[in-house]
Amino acid sequence: MATEVLVPTLGESITEATLGEWLKQPGDKVAADEPIASLETDKVSVEVPSPVAGIMGQHAVAVGDTVQVGAMLATVEAGDGAPAAESAQQPAVTQAPAAEQPAPAAGGYGNHGATPVDSNAPAALSPSVRRAVLEHGVDPATIKGTGRDGRITKEDVATAASSRPAAAPAPAAAPTPSVAAAGGRKEERVRMTRLRQTIAKRLKDAQNTAAMLTTFNDVDMTAVIEARAKYKDLFEKKHGVRLGFMGFFVKAATMALKDIPSVNASIEGDEIVYHDYADISVAVSSPGGLVVPVIRDAQDLSVAGIEKTIGDFGKRAKEGTLKMDEMKGGTFTISNGGVFGSLMSTPIINPPQSAVLGLHRIEDRPVVRDGQVVVRPMMYLALSYDHRLIDGREAVTFLVALKNAIEDPTRILIDL
């Protein structure tokens, strides 16, 4: 007897999704509530669990297909799975050497997107991770996965590639003669994920709608760095989370937003909506792209509370377990490109918000203090804002208030 696996309810107003990857192949043994497929919506990836225990039946849709809520994805057959799993795996063992040998010569992966790179791996590799494995020339069997259920992410592959000894890249060069022998250059076309399509559309809509302008300032990070160095061990011991810089910036931003309410407002039709709360969206990286979960009522949280929330967001973004409700709303966004080495940027507004703060890398630069040229750890700040609502004076005043709070963290404690 077969049980149908249906597309679950995905959230308010979301009626369809894209099949991102199959986590179970026909013939695999499946436990009840075990994820068998991953769906990509406009905001997050959603794993589809098996409703019953049994044997994975036939897939009803292919990777990349768009599916409606309630549609059938696959079937799960009754049984304990032992005989079926063994028979399904036996051909893979005998055919794997033949299938794997041409792959390095071709430098690609052809139509084998649903076949695990290593049948002994703890979990199947997604297409994006498989591409990363081939690009970096690393063995997935040597990589410890940090994703959900131990699955390997693109970040895990990049980390493994960067930690290899200097002599290790030699195997990656092996495909070069084969590529030359095949003649000519190669191109690869990969369909954009639903998340990437949504990001592209929203960012372009923001440029088309808002009268966007960016203003800059810089901030001396000396005081914050000293405070962090002095208290980070005690902070982590007491609160169970590391003390970073984002906690200071989020708290300072909530104070500046209180002083300059238009930066925390939004335009709806011909009305301006002012908020007496600060729901801060923080941009974090996920395997599928940039996602922006929201710290609710950040003005009421301590620096420790903010750091705990951000740490949880970052962990679950990497695992792909953020909920859609956690990324709705938001009155102001902070994006930290400095963690990737960015020196300066002009961030794009996250509609319907009216402003976004961009943080950048900290670097030692010569500055003048009391008539003397000294070296200080400096960071550029960038505030992109909708000029329809926010005037230049207000934007600059906001940045100066933020700068003053970071350069003198005591202001944060006494709300000055």
Instruction: Identify the active-site residue in 59, 391, 408, 415.
Output: 391
- What stretches of 240-302 show up as alpha helix (H) in DSSP? 246-259
Instruction: Identify the active-site residue in 65, 233, 387, 408.
Output: 387
Q: For residue 80, indicate whether it is catalytic.
A: no
Q: Say which DSSP state 282 is in.
A: E
Q: How far apart are CA 195 and CA 201, in angstroms?
A: 10
User: What token pair was written down for 353?
Assistant: 């918000």
Q: For residue 387, indicate whether it is catalytic.
A: yes
Q: How far is CA 71 from CA 17, 23, 60, 67, 185, in A?
A: 11, 18, 9, 6, 41
Place of tokens 């994805």: 73
Q: Give me the DSSP letters along 129-158.
A: HHHHHHHHT--GGGPPP-SGGG---HHHHH
Place of tokens 């922006």: 292
Cβ(357)–Cβ(383) below 8 Å: yes
Which residues, in sequence order, are bridge partners of residue 219?
Answer: 379
Q: How far apart are CA 30 and CA 52, in angstroms?
A: 8
Cα 396 → chain centroid = 30
Q: Which residues are catalytic?
A: 387, 391
